[in-house]
Amino acid sequence: MVAQAREALLAGADGTFLWVGFVANELQGRNWNQINEILHCVPKGLGGVYQRLLQQIDDKEALVPILQWVVLAARPLTVNELIVATGIKTSSTFSTTKIIKDRLRSCGLLVRIEGDVVNLVHESAKEFFQRDQVNIKGITMFRMSQDTHRTLMRTCLAHLEHCYGTRATTNQRSDHDSLLSYASQYWPVHFHHAVDVMNTQLEFSRPFFQADSIIREEWWKLYWEQEKNGGNPPSFMLLHLAAYLGNVTWAKMLINQHARLISRKDNYGRTPLSWAANRGHRDIVELLLDHGARINAKDRARLTALHIAVTGQHKDIVGVLLDRGAHLECKSEHGDTPLIRAIQANSTEMIQILLEHGARVDELPTPPGVASLRAPTDPLEYRVKELLALQEQLFLARYKQASRKVDMVMKTMDLSFRFPIILRLVTLYLKFISFDRWEHMPVLQELVKENRTDELRQWAKRYRAFFTNLVVARNPTRLTAMTELPTQIFRVVAPGDLQALLVIAVLTGSETKLAAVRHGWREGDAITARAFSKWTAIAYSRDAEEFLHYGVREFLNDFDACVQSSNREDNVARTVVLFTSHFAMLENKDSRPIEYFSRVIAEFYQGYIGSSHERKPRLL
């Protein structure tokens, strides 16, 4: 009998061990006659097992909303999220947690709870619930479709409208509604799946979709942050949002209602076309162009949709834009054409497409010893290879140009010692060029990306001279203002710029702090320590801590060189810099920066334990 059972299990499994597990679970505690009966009646394949499990559930209707969320949620939900999503209420005898866990248990092996997270037993179960295998007598209520996504979308939007209609903070809202984080991030997923079955007049009359909805504005701030975009969230109109999310049906409806929205720009100077190109949504790009979108419109950084698509390496969108007449030679504020962007991205494919459409190369530098670049009649692969070899020359030209701008800004800043109004004007200028720009500092980004420490230190040296003068003048008001400026910029600047700016700021700030210590100016030391504490907190809150550490690492490398040279005075000063920075973080009470800097200090000094420097006077 055992051999027969083994053969039956192997035959029914069809190579799927999960099927064997389901059946083996059902065989537990049975006699041989019952085992034989089960082995003969259990259907082969997982679909049949899922059907059997659903048929055995007593209160099927109570389980439907729970399984809808378990199956169609964009990520696995926690028990608490499921309770809120399904609206389960406490009874007179049982808590909501017990009620939902009992209902989940009735699913048998179909659902599992790992820790506090609810999941389907296998990915095949997700597919099963959305196929015709559920359309059999007794379990049709479990069939899930676009209509189900519409139900989930409505639930998500109801939570957004309830929570974002208050003045509470994000944490207070999440504490009040455990589904809010999920609803905020994933309602667009359900919206996308449900859009073809929606009653547009009904759905878009909701408060969330009103033209000047405060609810949507508050949601958008959180969503932008959840998506790890960073910087100021764009001031989207509804069509911008539809383009960003890639929802063609919604975009069509909006265009039909308000055609003028096509050319509307947000605070970044971007049109819906720019964002569709940025996100890689070809259907939206074509739709917008069909309805008259300006193909060569530029954002605040003077980037066109073609620049943006080339940078993102969206081949199909680049092709559409070129076929529709996008200008090949438009220049950004840094002088980049789309071809230069393709070279910088090291993209053979993008360079090839642009050359095929006639991109000019006459303004590009030539390799050493070469009179001119290859002509359009030369083989394309050789032309592409030649252009890729220009990356270093292009970068050096951009670096020189950017360095001249840095010199000009710092010379202007030096004048502020004689004419205080200049400081206010330069501060306004720096904010203007930093806020609401998308990746405004490509040269600085490239220096960091390529680990060009020497060039970074050269730039930091220019800034350091100005800040050292502030220290020598013992001007706390100006020093506070100039350390607060990067703090403001870090909070709102785009991610790539933030990463690059953190490196240069820490390189400059640590040396400024060191100058304050050397000059015995405790107030200056305290001001820079507080600034560094804030920068560290921002770096951690925006997932940019490795770039903060880049600057810290360089400071420690210099410290190590001082230790090796037995420079007692400098060792003492640098020790003060480290510990006063740490004290400022302790006062700030943000746990992650505290843990980070505690580890940095411990590991640095630990490296000298047992070495010839252990008993040197550097250890106070």
Identify residue 366 by its one-letter amino acid code: T
Instruction: Look at 67-81, 154-168, 573-587 and tell me which has the smallest mean pLDDT.
Output: 154-168
Tokens of 19: 């099927």
Nearest CA-CA partner of 265 in 280, 243, 287, 290: 243
Tell which wins on pLDDT, 137 or 342: 342
Tokens of 384: 């592409």
- What would the mean pLDDT of 525-550 be, rounded to a whole number? 94
- What would the mean pLDDT of 549-573 be, rounded to a whole number? 91
Interatomic CA distance for residues 93 and 129, integer angstroms: 32
pLDDT range class, residue 618, cuts 50, 70, 90 = very low
Q: Where does 164-293 have alpha helices with state H?
A: 170-176, 180-194, 200-203, 214-226, 238-245, 248-257, 272-279, 282-290
Interatomic CA distance for residues 570 and 459, integer angstroms: 23
Model confidence pLDDT, tens digit, residues 416-472 = 767 777 777 777 766 666 666 666 778 888 899 989 999 999 989 888 888 998 999
What are the extents of the domains in the chain? 1-42, 429-606
**306 sits in which H/E element:** helix 305-311
Model confidence pLDDT, tens digit, residues 360-391 = 998 888 877 776 788 888 899 999 999 999 99
pLDDT range class, residue 80, cuts 50, 70, 90 = very high
**CA angle in degrees (0–180, nearest 5) for 456-460-465:** 155
In a 13 Å sphere around the CA of 580, the CA atoms on its Cβ side amount to 22
Q: Is the pTM of this model over 0.85?
A: no
The mean predicted confidence, pLDDT, of the chain is 85
